[in-house]
Amino acid sequence: MTEETARPVIRVLLADDEGMIRSALAALLRLEGDIDVIAECADGLQAVAEAERLQPDVCLLDLEMPGLDGVEVAERLRRTIAARCVVVTRHARPGVLRRALSAGVAGFLPKSRDAGEVAAVIRRVAAGARYVDPEIAADALSDERCPLTDRELDVLRAGRRGETTAQIARALSLAPGTVRNHVSAILAKLAVDTRQQAVLLSQDRGWI
Amino acid sequence: MTEETARPVIRVLLADDEGMIRSALAALLRLEGDIDVIAECADGLQAVAEAERLQPDVCLLDLEMPGLDGVEVAERLRRTIAARCVVVTRHARPGVLRRALSAGVAGFLPKSRDAGEVAAVIRRVAAGARYVDPEIAADALSDERCPLTDRELDVLRAGRRGETTAQIARALSLAPGTVRNHVSAILAKLAVDTRQQAVLLSQDRGWI
DNA sequence: CCCCGGCCATGACATCTGTCACGGATCTAG
DNA sequence: CTAGATCCGTGACAGATGTCATGGCCGGGG
């Protein structure tokens, strides 16, 4: 980089629970002259803490992390620091993208893309632009929004591990019959036959 | 590398369905003087075809791939070419390790490890040694084997997406009552309450 | 040989789950 | 205010699921 003033070093925080990809991305980014990886985090809470401490220019956040996921991290950081966030995800679905954008995320990149693109996206985002993967963006335009009501999503979430009706009812302080009713509505709306299929479909779409 | 004769270049085939980690690993490995990435594959079938065509020294295989998974690829290659295989996985469970070792895999590395270790493992494996992640190996020694019978595993697999009893019965050419009986045995053995919990537990343990 | 243990398969029965019709609460539009 | 729409909560009913007892089939000992 010959023009340090025109292109100052971009300070990047990296968060991904998968050690191999985290370290690989960090190594590749460090090869770029204008990018400085100042922190590597393995979960969402750590990412928030380090970001608030170090005030990076850009946060590169994996979506799937224990504790807080990438979008939740971005949402918290929006209120406390000025960093711009890029969310990277394995399962890039329109629902997830919508969630990310409404959390103020500046970049959205599926892990199916080449690692070489990451540096380019970081530069664009650091320069104030937004970047959304074109393919996902196209999908998001012509897709169906989640047809489930809030309470139905609660029920689905409470039963996503195969919990029994009685357990869900206890967790949400409802009568078992009410839970069954919600489940019934969910199955009808999603046009599937069992709870498990409803859970899989909703996870696939990024609704839960 | 000053001694090319003592350390000839290791020809590596790389297979991972996640483009970002595949390209990142390829880029890092190419920085090593003694490693040559000769192929990058996105799924198991492609990996088998390319391996048989190019005869690599080492195959670095992701476990989770569409089509054939990493262990299945290793199993096929064992009979056709001399390449040694390293399996890399996100969910490193004792059951998976056992499956991998009985397929003749020479190296086993979870994705929680640092990307820098990959090159070292490739060198050791290429030199004829075996490498198994010490942490997983320790787990594998003191663990419980799958208590389910073959037929019970069939039923579990056939119902892993939330299929209905009737659908499972049709898929396996059984009476619905028989399927319910197997399911009942599964739930008792795994000490869980629903099919979905049984599926999740078994996937977690690497049994299906 | 016969018995035993494991696995697979089946039908009857009890329980759980999904469906339906209903009432109450809240919000919006007219 | 009232009508309509939407969502939440509930109980009664039918059908699917899980449990149990039973029998056939094989392979390994006594």
A95-123 pLDDT, tens per residue? 788 888 888 999 999 999 999 999 999 99
H helix or E strand, kind and range, residue A72: helix A70-80
Cα separation, B164 vs B203, whole angstroms? 19
Shortest Cα distance, chain A CAs vs residue B80, angstroms: 30
A23-42 pLDDT, tens per residue? 999 999 999 999 999 999 99
Helices (DSSP H) in chain B: which residue ranges?
19-31, 44-54, 70-80, 94-102, 116-126, 134-141, 150-158, 165-172, 176-190, 195-205
CA angle, residues A49, A53, A56, in degrees to nearest 5 = 100
H helix or E strand, kind and range, residue A51: helix A44-54
Whether residue A4 is predicted with pLDDT greater than 50 in this model: the reply is no
φ and ψ at A94, to 5 degrees?
-50, -40
> DSSP code of A84?
E
Query: A3: pLDDT confidence band, cut at 50, 70 and 90?
Result: very low
A-chain CB neighbours of B21 within 8 Å are 20-21, 24, 111, 115
Find the mean pLDDT for residues A142-146: 68
Portion of chain A with pLDDT greater than 70, in percent: 95
B-chain CB neighbours of A87 within 8 Å are none
Distance, angstroms, CA A173 to C1' D4? 30
pLDDT reported for residue B143 = 62
Show the tokens assigned to A6. Answer: 């025109």
Portion of chain B with pLDDT greater than 70, in percent: 95
By a Cβ cutoff of 8 Å, what residues of chain B touch chain A? Answer: 18-21, 23-25, 27-28, 88, 90, 111-116, 118, 161-164, 192-200
* Cβ–Cβ gap A28/B28 under 8 Å: yes
Whether residue B146 is predicted with pLDDT greater than 90 in this model: the reply is no
Instruction: Give chain D positions with protein CB within 7 A.
Output: 6-12, 16-21
H helix or E strand, kind and range, residue A107: strand A107-110
φ and ψ at B161, to 5 degrees?
-100, 20
